[in-house]
Amino acid sequence: MYALVDCNNFYCSCERLFAPKLENHPVVVLSNNDGCAIARSEEAKALGIQMGTPEYMIRDTLQAHNVKVFSSNYTLYGDISDRVMRTLETFVSKMELYSIDEAFLDMNEMIYQDLLQLGIDIRRTIKKNIGIPVTVGIANTKTLSKMANRYAKKIHKDVGVYWAANKDLTDRMLEFTEVADIWGIGAQYAKLLTNNGFKTAKDFVQASDDWVRQHMSVVGLRLLHELRGQPSIEWEYEAPPKKNICTSRSFGTLITDKKTLEQAVANYTASCALKLRNQKSCTREIQVFLKTNQFRVQDKQYSAGRTVKLPVATNSTPELIKYALKGLNLIYRPGYNYQKCGVIVMDIIPQEQIQYSLFDNEDRKKQKTVSKTLDKINIAFGKDLVRYAKQGYEKRYKLRAEYLSKRYTTNIDELPLIKI
């Protein structure tokens, strides 16, 4: 048996955690630059606010119903997520992190436990110790546990747990779930299945293996087996190293001067370099790109990118910044209002597989020592406290975040105050 534990409306729940008066009040969290609604409380959903709707299109609704709006506070959300995941680890021996607010639990060793009660205990413990509401779905496979989680939210909201313990309970869930709502079924496959008479997940499990393999490839066949209760999706108890790493942002205001773009590129490159070091990898290629806002018809439009091959694979921040700025110099054009830039590191290899060059004149031992020391200082005293001069400290390009809450759990200057 496997379980899928999902935090309910996670970003909104994190904001409510430090503002209890918002309980039962509509809450919306916006994306970067306060662009679109990316999280909605149940009360906000009831007002008809759709996921991904631009803020300016729902502004009247937000004001008319006094909806509390927040900018994305990823520092807070990441810390709360870490607390939830560490709590989940105490219940099982094996766990797979699926996203910031979801995790799969391997319960195959718990054959003598009441799994329904275990799910209830998980839910109560996380609510009591952390304050975040969660839903638990338990079934024979990852796909079915994902479906059980959704079924619990729709049908057993008060309990918040659903255990598909036998065929009858599993069939109820399959019959309730339309093919478009099956985890792993995209819009095209949903259309294909519907056009061929498959309306629900229960209909789909009756499909022949040959038909599914022919029309949906081995991926669809693997999904079919999962729905039949045969585990077919491999577990990732440790996240595999990323093959590409991208850091990019839309600017809070339009940028024209090159110096500010250089600072942004340097900071994005530093972020990529840190991620490489964390997964013990190095990159052999770095790409920089720039673009204007295509929706501003009054502006001249420009978009460009350049990939720079490195002589030796590296994860050194100053070395990567040097090559990233070379790429920026090649694509920058004055006279444009730039809305976004980004950095992508590609052709990533494990750091122990570096092929050095005969003509390499970098002091790589020194680079490694400096990077290790810098990372330790920043972990101990705060992110980006120590940085390279090219990164600067005054981020004129920073995201627009007019409704940002405090970093209650990670910044001592922003601890919540209690009035007695």
pLDDT for res 112 = 82
Give 10-residue mean pLDDT values along the chain (420 residues).
Answer: 95 94 94 91 94 93 95 93 95 92 92 91 96 96 96 93 95 95 92 93 94 92 94 82 90 90 94 94 95 91 95 94 96 94 94 82 87 90 85 78 88 81
CA within 13 Å, CB half, 68: 19
Q: At 222, which amino acid appears? A: R
Q: Which residue has the tokens 């920058």?
A: 332
Q: At 283, which amino acid appears? A: T
Task: For the chain, list the domains and their CATH numbers.
Answer: 2-162 (3.30.70.270), 245-391 (3.30.1490.100)
Calculated CA dihedral for residues 377, 275, 254, 77, nearest 10 degrees = -80
pLDDT for res 394 = 74
- Of 299, 302, 300, 294, residue with least CA distance to 331: 302
pLDDT for res 81 = 96
Contact 140, 26 (CB under 8 A): no
d(CA 165, CA 171): 11
Q: At 50, which amino acid appears? A: Q
d(CA 349, CA 363): 20
